[in-house]
């Protein structure tokens, strides 16, 4: 039997004592045999525990919610019970769930100081049928039928379907475009059938007042025959006449949002000016559209003192809105989109940080910052297909094979999930060349920390020609050369020191889009 | 830093173990390649971690710390069943543990690539994989199901794993460097 077959026999428990002795003596003498054994044992163990394909790419919202909450709770209960019973505990791995169909019927649109009771809803969340209780603030609900509802202050709503909503109490305003004609709004004493219009509804103590601003609404009271309400007409439950002024006005949301955004933006600007003067900064790209570049392709390096050679060049990418309406960002969509940089110098430690809105993690590797090719000391920072952050740096020994695995790789836990896509998030990674420690952050929180087994202290980090959002010069014959980011980047910081967790947290706090 | 409410230490350990128990299992299994024994050792390791969890420094990575406990439990287990023909000698276990530490990043990368190879299995290989690994069928039952002699059955299982291993190696080589 050859060494391979001995290993397989050993894993299958089909090995005789003599054969085992032979295998042992091979393992003692030959490190390659030890590696082969370890690889096969790992493969066998993985199959024993999880015989099917593991869930690779990001799973759907519903599936994630399930795996995240229930099994952990069960595991804790099971573990607690096992400790009590036997002093030992054993947890089963949460079962991988089948991808479930999204049951969303609406989306939470813009909000302003909105506080919800129960689940902490955030702008952009998908809503499934159920109660939405607004405690205070303003919130806009966008139904998949096309109807839009704005609620202010205390409001109790029940989202029934893409075509129906119930208002139990509160002040709401509804706009129904032609495509959503027939949208139904229920109140405790009314059913309103909207024939393409804009109207407001106030519900207090189980009684409703309606005012139609535009178009037509059929009001079913259940007592009288259905009543048609058109432009400017109101329907009051009491004897007191109602005026348009007692209903929820529009325009507040947009106006208030803008002034709130303005103050966040100014706060970020003052922080940004400090960063630009930090002597440790290698390159700092706030991603603000240059007013004086007629070509619109200059990505300014704001670091002081100015180093013109470190300015970025935009290729393909388009300017778009950033974290605030006042702020620009660069959108990366097509395979050619990229920002070219050339950063000279050697560094003992680095920090990479950026604000990014990822629309989709659709490739195996999705670029944040990659050097051209992959030479010694060059870092690569990307998002892996499972939504985790991946930082790697390569040091190929003299005469080491080109195809060998010489890069130190670090993965965070998955951070890009269905919930975090399409929103602005702060990503950061620090690498310390002395300790080899890599710490990864998502929105100011640590999501990964480790030292590679391949680490050797005091090797330098270099960049040279590199790119934000793409891989400029894939290594020859690479299987995954296309790595363009699908999303937008608003601010990119490259620093020649490893920032502390507090510094990273401050970056997040000062730059977050909303308070 | 994140302002999360303080978790109890049991809860923290459970979360850490849930996250890392598969890697811990693979570590143990590579030193004691008998499934039932490896499961027992994982359980004993969990208990040991539970008892000593107050000594764990959350600023340090969890796995290296947990591996030390697993290694001690492996040695203990080796001492108890010293005459089992299926177990490796102590010096071999030491060599394997050291090699595994060096080789772990590659092993992890290989498992990531394994999924792609599993997707490409032939129907025959898939049937074999399901009954051996998903259903944990005995050799006797598999011999009946596939009308195979014991020898051929194990040769086929060896072939299945060999193909998967080769496929992963190919992916690793063509993919080159991440």
What DSSP assignment string belongs to chain B? ---PPPPPHHHHHHHHHHHHHHHHHHHHHHHS--HHHHHHHHHHHHHHHHHTGGG--TTS-HHHHHHHHHHHHHHHHHHHTTT-TTSPPHHHHHHHHHHHHHHHHHHHHHHHHHHHHHHT--HHHHHHHIIIIIS---HHHHHHHHT--HHHHHHHHHHHHHHHHHHHHHHHHHH---
Residue of B nearest to A26 (CA): B92
Among A9, A27, A42, A56, most B C-beta atoms within 10 A, so best to mutate, is A42
Q: How far is A174 from chain B (nearest CA, A)?
A: 38
Q: Where are the domains of chain A?
A: 3-49, 55-94, 106-250, 281-511
The predicted structure's pLDDT at residue A238: 64
**Which CATH number fits the domain A106-250, given the four candidates 2.120.10.30, 3.40.190.10, 2.70.98.90, 2.60.120.1440?**
2.60.120.1440
Among A4, A24, A45, most B C-beta atoms within 10 A, so best to mutate, is A45
Count of residues making up chain B: 178
Q: Answer yes or no: do B3 and B83 share one domain.
A: yes
Cβ distance A76 to B22 less than 8 Å, yes or no, reads no
Q: Answer yes or no: do B64 and B132 share one domain.
A: no
Query: How many domains, chain B?
Result: 2
B12 falls within a domain: yes
> Do β-strands A388-394 and A461-468 pair in parallel, antiparallel, or remain unpaired?
unpaired
Spatial distance between the Cα atoms of B61 and B82, rounded to a whole number of angstroms: 32
B95 falls within a domain: no
Spatial distance between the Cα atoms of B6 and A166, rounded to a whole number of angstroms: 39
Instruction: Show which of B60, B87, B114 is a domain's final residue.
Output: B87
Measured CA to CA in angstroms, residue A32 lies from A18, A515, B101 at distances of 21, 55, 14
Of A42, A71, A403, the CB nearest to B30: A42
Spatial distance between the Cα atoms of A192 and A174, rounded to a whole number of angstroms: 11
Answer yes or no: are the C-beta atoms of B52 and B35 closer than 8 Å: no
Q: Answer yes or no: do B1 and B76 share one domain.
A: yes
Q: Answer yes or no: do B83 and B137 share one domain.
A: no
B70 falls within a domain: yes
Q: Answer yes or no: do B64 and B3 share one domain.
A: yes
| pLDDT tens digits along B73-112 | 999 988 887 667 678 988 999 999 999 988 888 898 898 8
| pLDDT tens digits along B1-28 | 444 445 577 778 887 887 888 899 999 9
Residue whose token pair is 């106030």: A202
> Dmax of chain B from CA atoms?
62
Residue of A nearest to B120 (CA): A53
Q: Find the helix or strand (DSSP H, E) in which A72 lies.
A: helix A61-86
Cβ distance B46 to A12 less than 8 Å, yes or no, reads no
Range of the domain at B114: 104-178
A-chain residues within 8 Å CB-CB of B12?
none
B98 falls within a domain: no
Among A6, A30, A38, A401, most B C-beta atoms within 10 A, so best to mutate, is A38
The predicted structure's pLDDT at residue B59: 81
Q: Find the helix or strand (DSSP H, E) in which A25 lies.
A: helix A17-29
Cβ distance B154 to A56 less than 8 Å, yes or no, reads no
Are A106-250 and A281-511 equal in CATH topology?
Answer: yes
B93 falls within a domain: no
Spatial distance between the Cα atoms of A244 and A199, rounded to a whole number of angstroms: 10
Beta strand segments in A290-387, E: 298-299, 312-315, 318-321, 328-332, 338-347, 349-358, 365-371, 379-384
The predicted structure's pLDDT at residue B10: 76
Residue whose token pair is 């087994």: A453
Q: Answer yes or no: do B113 and B173 share one domain.
A: yes
| Of A3, A43, A1, residue with least CA distance to A24 | A3
Answer yes or no: are the C-beta atoms of A156 and A169 closer than 8 Å: yes
Q: Answer yes or no: do B2 and B33 share one domain.
A: yes
Residue of B nearest to A381 (CA): B178
| Chain A with chain B: Cβ pairs closer than 8 A | 195
Q: Answer yes or no: do B71 and B18 share one domain.
A: yes
In chain A (515 residues long), the average pLDDT of successive 10-residue segments reads 90 89 93 94 91 44 33 40 37 32 71 81 81 90 88 91 91 87 89 86 88 87 79 74 71 73 91 93 92 79 90 89 93 89 94 96 92 91 93 86 78 86 94 95 94 88 94 73 90 96 94 85
Instruction: Show which of B39, B60, B87 is a domain's final residue.
Output: B87
B-chain residues within 8 Å CB-CB of A372?
none
Answer yes or no: are the C-beta atoms of B25 and B107 closer than 8 Å: no
A-chain residues within 8 Å CB-CB of B173?
403
Q: Answer yes or no: do B6 and B82 share one domain.
A: yes
The predicted structure's pLDDT at residue A101: 36
Q: What is the ipTM of this complex?
A: 0.93
The predicted structure's pLDDT at residue A161: 87
Residue range B127-155: mean pLDDT, rounded: 86
The predicted structure's pLDDT at residue A501: 94
Instruction: Show which of B87, B115, B134 is a domain's final residue.
Output: B87
Q: Which CATH number is B43's domain given?
A: 1.10.1740.10
Helix axes A17-29, A31-49, angle to 10 degrees: 120
A-chain residues within 8 Å CB-CB of B117?
none
3-state class of A258 per DSSP? helix
CATH topology of domain A281-511: Jelly Rolls (2.60.120)
Q: Answer yes or no: do B1 and B82 share one domain.
A: yes
Spatial distance between the Cα atoms of A509 and A514, rounded to a whole number of angstroms: 9
Q: How far is B27 from chain A (nearest CA, A)?
A: 8
The predicted structure's pLDDT at residue A490: 96
Q: Answer yes or no: do B69 and B111 share one domain.
A: no
**Structure token digits, residue B121:** 């299995």
Cβ distance B25 to A49 less than 8 Å, yes or no, reads yes
Of B43, B164, B165, the CB nearest to A90: B43
Q: Which CATH number is B121's domain given?
A: 1.10.10
| Of B115, B113, B118, B126, residue with least CA distance to B168 | B113
A-chain residues within 8 Å CB-CB of B118?
52-53
The predicted structure's pLDDT at residue A370: 95
The predicted structure's pLDDT at residue A353: 98
Which pTM does this prediction carry? Answer: 0.56
Q: Answer yes or no: do B74 and B110 share one domain.
A: no
């Amino acid at each position: 039997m050859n060494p391979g077959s001995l290993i397989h026999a050993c894993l299958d428990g089909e090995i005789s004592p003599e054969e085992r002795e032979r295998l042992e003596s091979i393992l003692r003498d030959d490190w390659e045999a030890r590696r082969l054994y370890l690889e096969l044992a790992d493969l066998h163990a993985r199959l024993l525990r999880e015989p099917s394909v593991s869930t690779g790419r990001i799973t759907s919202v519903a599936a994630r919610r399930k795996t995240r909450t229930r099994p952990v709770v069960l595991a804790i209960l099971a573990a607690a019970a096992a400790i009590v019973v036997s002093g030992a505990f054993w947890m089963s791995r949460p079962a991988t769930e089948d991808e479930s169909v999204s049951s969303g019927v609406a989306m939470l649109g813009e909000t302003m100081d909105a506080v919800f009771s129960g689940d902490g809803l955030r702008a952009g969340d998908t809503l499934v049928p159920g109660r939405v209780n607004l405690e205070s603030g303003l919130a806009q609900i966008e139904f998949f039928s096309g109807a839009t509802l704005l609620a202010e202050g205390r409001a109790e709503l029940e989202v029934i379907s893409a075509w129906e909503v119930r208002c139990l109490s509160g002040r709401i305003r509804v706009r129904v475009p032609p495509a959503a004609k027939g949208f139904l709004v229920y109140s405790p004493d009314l059913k309103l059938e909207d024939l393409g219009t804009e109207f407001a509804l106030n519900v207090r103590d189980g009684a409703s007042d309606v005012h139609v601003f535009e178009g037509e609404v059929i009001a079913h009271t259940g007592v009288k025959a259905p009543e048609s309400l058109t432009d400017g007409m109101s329907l009051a439950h009491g004897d007191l006449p109602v005026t348009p002024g007692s209903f929820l006005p529009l325009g507040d949301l947009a106006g208030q949002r803008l002034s709130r955004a303005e103050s966040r933006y100014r706060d970020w600007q003052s922080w940004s000016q400090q960063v630009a003067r930090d002597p440790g900064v290698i390159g700092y790209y706030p991603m603000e559209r240059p007013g004086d570049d007629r070509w619109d392709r200059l990505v300014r390096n704001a670091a002081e003192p100015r180093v013109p050679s470190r300015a970025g060049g935009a290729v393909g990418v388009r300017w778009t809105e950033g974290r605030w309406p006042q702020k620009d960002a660069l959108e990366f969509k097509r395979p050619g989109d990229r920002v070219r940089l050339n950063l000279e110098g050697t560094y003992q430690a680095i920090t990479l940080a950026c604000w990014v809105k990822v629309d989709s993690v659709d490739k195996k590797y999705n670029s944040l910052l990659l050097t051209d090719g992959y030479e010694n000391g060059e870092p690569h920072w990307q998002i892996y297909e499972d939504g985790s952050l991946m930082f790697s740096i390569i040091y190929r020994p003299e005469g080491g094979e080109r195809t060998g695995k010489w890069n130190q790789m670090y993965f965070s836990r998955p951070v890009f999930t269905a919930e975090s896509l399409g929103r602005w998030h702060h990503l950061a990674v620090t690498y310390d060349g002395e300790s080899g420690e890599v710490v990864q952050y998502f929105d100011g929180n640590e999501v990964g920390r480790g030292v590679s087994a391949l680490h050797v202290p005091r090797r330098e980090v270099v960049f040279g020609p590199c790119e934000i959002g793409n891989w400029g010069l894939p290594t020859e014959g690479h299987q995954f050369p296309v790595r363009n980011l699908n999303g937008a980047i608003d601010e990119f910081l490259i620093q020649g020191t490893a920032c502390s967790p507090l510094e990273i947290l401050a970056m997040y706090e000062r730059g977050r889009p909303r308070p | 830093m994140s302002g999360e409410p303080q978790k109890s230490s049991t809860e923290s350990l459970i979360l850490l173990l849930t996250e890392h128990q598969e890697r811990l299992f693979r570590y143990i299994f590579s030193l004691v390649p008998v499934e039932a024994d490896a499961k027992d050792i994982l359980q004993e390791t969990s208990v040991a971690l539970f008892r000593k969890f107050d000594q764990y420094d959350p600023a340090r990575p969890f796995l290296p710390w947990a591996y030390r406990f697993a290694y001690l439990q492996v040695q203990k287990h080796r001492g108890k069943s010293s005459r089992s023909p299926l177990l490796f000698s102590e010096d071999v276990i030491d060599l394997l543990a050291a090699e595994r530490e060096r080789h772990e990043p590659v092993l992890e990368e290989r498992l990531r690539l394994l999924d792609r190879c599993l997707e490409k299995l032939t129907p025959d290989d898939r049937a074999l994989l399901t009954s051996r690994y998903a259903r944990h069928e005995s050799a006797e039952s598999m011999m009946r199901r596939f009308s195979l002699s014991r020898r051929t059955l194990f040769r086929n299982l060896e072939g299945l794993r060999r193909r998967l291993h080769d496929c992963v190696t190919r992916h690793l080589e063509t993919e080159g460097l991440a």
